[in-house]
Amino acid sequence: MWFEELRIRDVRRYNLMVRRNRLPANAQQLLDSDAETPLWEDVNVVSDPDAIKRSMVHRDILEYVMKEVLEKEFGGTCSYLESIGFGPEELFKLRALLVEPDQVIRDHARARCKMAAEILEIELSPDMVLDDGAMAGASLGLPVYPAWEGKGNDLYSAEGEDDLEWRIRRLEARGLVRLVELSITDIIPQADVRNAERRRGGSAGVMFRGAWGAGSQQRTNPVPCVTDFPVPDEQNSGQRPRGFDELRGVELERAHWEKSTAQEGRRGGSVLYWMSRDQRAHDNWALLKAQELALERRASLQVCFCLVPKFLGATLRHFDFMLRGLEETSKELSRLNIGFLLLKGESVKEVPKLLRSIKQKGPVHAVVCDMSPLRVPRAWVAGVGKELKKLKVPLIQVDAHNVVPVWEASDKQETGARTLRPKLKKLYKDFLHEFPPLKRHPHGPVVKGKGLDLSAALRSLQVDREVGPVSQELFKPGALAGKKRLEDFLKHRLKSFASLRNDPTQQALSGLSPWIKFGQISAQRCALTVKKAKAPKSSVEAFLDEAIVRRELSDNFCWYNEHYDSLKGAAAWAVETLNKHRKDQREYLYSRRQLEEAKTHDELWNAAQRQMVLEGKMHGFLRMYWAKKVLEWSKDGASALATAIYLNDRYNLDGRDPNGYVGCMWSICGVHDMGWPERKVFGKIRYMNYAGCKRKFNVEAFEARYPASSGASSKRAKRA
């Protein structure tokens, strides 16, 4: 055993771990332990609900337990797995230890299916035959069989879906069942699945891990649902739609499917990519997926974008940057024989309307859409999804914005970067790789647009025009300009990124956030390029941590917390401490207008505000100081958060983004942070002050860059 070898080879380390209660003397002691004992390789084994005993065991101990203890006491591994509930991460780590995995999965699936059927009072046919899709459904603990042997039993019909979800959630609350997301791909590596299926002459039946559907609400305790391929209609019941059961080039877990009826067995027609968050032609997983499906069906490829007249307080500054980037994207798509249509109005109405017109010229095989964790875009997807069900067109949501898809990175709201970082790093080998090229499409678009009329699009907007576009010398819209900014960063600033990124007087930041926010450049492309750069390792790692871990932590928070922009989304300790100190005497109180006009007593804060107003982007380090001072000078935490979000979204080009919301929540509500020594006004929220900034950088030099405009004075506010 590994701990015996440790005792022989390194007695000092062994004794130290024993004294710190981190190294049980034997496997049996580990099993009997009531505490969590973290070791190097964490594998969480959860016992039955009655015992509630948990232990974190090393791989070698686990192997010993699986092969020795379980064989003697539980009658084998399979019996033990039937008696407890394993999550997907645990099963993934156990797969190498399982003997004859195909049989283990089938036995486990049948047992879980039988248990769930008894609890849900559903009668199953005794002569049922499980294919791959049915096997995955049974593994979920649900009798969901997309392809029975001629026996239709679709529990996820439109009429029964809500009722079944309610019944399952009720059973979960009573502790009678523990449902876990599980598919063949969780236990057997994808290559093994494909090889095995290839030998049998078929194709793997389970390719996606789904949720209740794209655009679903907060999923703190998600109930899984098999949405691996569209539900067959009456004419081809029991048949798997060809062309939708395997992804080539786009990772299997990057897409979520909405159930609908596929246009089976037909060629020609169209595939529609509804672009929203990721507004680029190249390095776009969603567009690549759409082209992949179109090429399989010999169909045309159409792209549409819905332009709403106003959106979450966005100003002319934001719409101008976005539309100029879309103009460039539309020209590139046209060069590749891919149609682009700018639709004006709400997507819930305009996308189905476009779909109906396209269907008059041929079948529409699928609609592919982007992923955004924010409420309004999720509501768009949910609304369009309902309409597409009526039209019997599948909806596929692809996370083209993150390196690791948000639903694959974690199944819960993470505590902070320290908990998400190891999960992401384990998945880099699966997701952080080169993009396949977007090809010139061989089939022309069914609906030919006239391109994007920039002037007409800008005139159609009903937005605040007081905040105008920023100088293109600072931020020129479009993918080409974003690529040039990345190249400039690699050449001049990456080498000093680790040491100088928190100094606002130095040029060390990449400045890529506006292009990433509007999807004009891929964060994954930035990460891949920086990884290959000849730069200090510390700078490369620091950039990757911010570009991947910190950014995807923000998406994780907004995806799993529907109150990502209010005090309701903060931790209980933060809400308690802010309420406790809401009536504390403030030394200074400023109105929102005073803050917006940079009329405070703090010249550093004023300079940061002017930088944001004039240039459309505030330095990253100063955003923390800036938001914390808003808390200090506001009457309470709720009004401070509202003001910070308002100013950030109004002036920063990268506003109305998960990074912005989480940045304000971190500064004001302690999200992804911990409690600090209690003090006036802030309570236990982390405190920052002017003196601390002076120790970090030349404050006077930064203030001199953004002086008060002529005729405007920075007056001291009236003491509260």
Q: Which of 73, 102, 127 delimits the end of a domain?
A: 73
- Is the pLDDT confidence value at 385 over 70? yes
pLDDT range class, residue 427, cuts 50, 70, 90? very high
**In this structure, are 378 and 399 located in the same domain?**
yes
AA letter at 481: A
Using CB atoms within 10 Å of the CB of residue 280, give its burial: 0 to 12 exposed, 13 to 18 middle, 19+ buried: buried
Residue 152: predicted pLDDT:
33
**In this structure, are 679 and 622 located in the same domain?**
yes
Q: Which of 542, 562, 582 delimits the end of a domain?
A: 562
Residue 448: predicted pLDDT:
83
- Is the pLDDT confidence value at 362 over 60? yes
Can you read off the two tokens belonging to residue 134?
A: 């049915």
**Residue 701's domain is classified under what CATH number?**
1.10.579.10
Residue 311: predicted pLDDT:
87
Q: Which of 532, 562, 592 delimits the end of a domain?
A: 562
What's the rounded mean pLDDT across residues 440-457? 90
* Domain annotation covers residue 92: no
Q: For 67-81, 146-160, 472-486, which range has the lowest pLDDT when averaged over its residues? A: 146-160
* Domain annotation covers residue 509: yes
Q: Which residue has the tokens 């009668």?
A: 123
Strands across the sheet with 300-307, in order?
A: 255-258, 395-398, 364-370, 270-275, 300-307, 339-344
What's the rounded mean pLDDT across residues 101-127? 49
**255-258 and 395-398 strand pairing:** antiparallel
**In this structure, are 533 and 635 located in the same domain?**
no
* Radius of gyration of the CA atoms of the chain, in A: 28
DSSP 397: E
**54-57 and 43-46 strand pairing:** antiparallel
Burial 47-79 (b: 16+ CB within 10 A, else e): eeeeeeeebbbbbbbbbbbbeeebeeeeeebbe
**In this structure, are 470 and 573 located in the same domain?**
no
Listed in sequence order, the residues at least 6 apart from 167 whose beta carbon sits closer than 8 Å to its beta carbon are: 120
pTM for this prediction: 0.68
**In this structure, are 510 and 601 located in the same domain?**
no
**In this structure, are 540 and 592 located in the same domain?**
no
**Residue 350's domain is classified under what CATH number?**
1.25.40.80
3-state SS class at 17? helix
Closest CA to 179 of 163, 167, 168, 165: 168
Element (H, E) at 197: helix 190-200
**In this structure, are 536 and 575 located in the same domain?**
no
Q: Which residue has the tokens 């090809």?
A: 439
**In this structure, are 459 and 482 located in the same domain?**
yes
* Domain annotation covers residue 122: no
- Is the pLDDT confidence value at 562 over 70? yes
Dist. CA 247–CA 654, nearest whole Å = 32
- pLDDT tens per residue, range 580-636: 999 999 999 999 999 999 999 999 999 999 999 999 999 999 999 999 999 999 999
CB 257 within 8 A of CB 208: yes
Listed in sequence order, the residues at least 6 apart from 585 whose beta carbon sits closer than 8 Å to its beta carbon are: 680, 720
Q: Which residue has the tokens 């964490």?
A: 42
CB 59 within 8 A of CB 41: yes
The dihedral built from the CA positions of residue 218, 224, 228 and 233, taken in this order, carries a sign that is negative
Q: For 71-75, 144-148, 617-621, which range has the lowest pLDDT when averaged over its residues? A: 144-148
Q: Give the residue, 161 or 343, on which the prediction is more confident.
A: 343
Residue 466: predicted pLDDT:
93
- Is the pLDDT confidence value at 339 over 60? yes
* Domain annotation covers residue 350: yes
* Domain annotation covers residue 116: no
DSSP 549: I
**In this structure, are 537 and 452 located in the same domain?**
yes
Dist. CA 385–CA 212, nearest whole Å = 12
Listed in sequence order, the residues at least 6 apart from 426 whose beta carbon sits closer than 8 Å to its beta carbon are: none
3-state secondary structure 301-361: EEEEEEECCCCCCCEHHHHHHHHHHHHHHHHHHHHCCCEEEEEECCHHHHHHHHHHHHHCC
- Is the pLDDT confidence value at 220 over 60? no
CB 47 within 8 A of CB 84: yes
pLDDT range class, residue 281, cuts 50, 70, 90? very high
CB 155 within 8 A of CB 181: no
**Across all residues in the chain, what is the average pLDDT?**
74
- Residue ranges making up the domain that contains 527: 207-562
Residue 108: predicted pLDDT:
52
* Domain annotation covers residue 333: yes
How many CB atoms are located within 10 Å of the residue 214 CB? 23
Using CB atoms within 10 Å of the CB of residue 637, give its burial: 0 to 12 exposed, 13 to 18 middle, 19+ buried: buried
**In this structure, are 370 and 328 located in the same domain?**
yes
What's the rounded mean pLDDT across residues 167-180? 35
Domain count, the chain: 3
Dist. CA 672–CA 416, nearest whole Å = 5
45 forms beta bridges with 55
**In this structure, are 442 and 501 located in the same domain?**
yes
Residue 650: predicted pLDDT:
96
pLDDT range class, residue 277, cuts 50, 70, 90? very high
Q: For 154-158, 486-490, 551-555, 572-576, which range has the lowest pLDDT when averaged over its residues? A: 154-158
Three-point CA angle 490, 494, 500, nearest 5°: 155
**In this structure, are 545 and 672 located in the same domain?**
no
How many angstroms separate the most distant Cα atoms in the chain? 87
* Domain annotation covers residue 123: no
* Domain annotation covers residue 32: yes
Residue 553: predicted pLDDT:
97
CA distances from 110 to 83, 104, 144, 705 (A): 13, 10, 12, 70
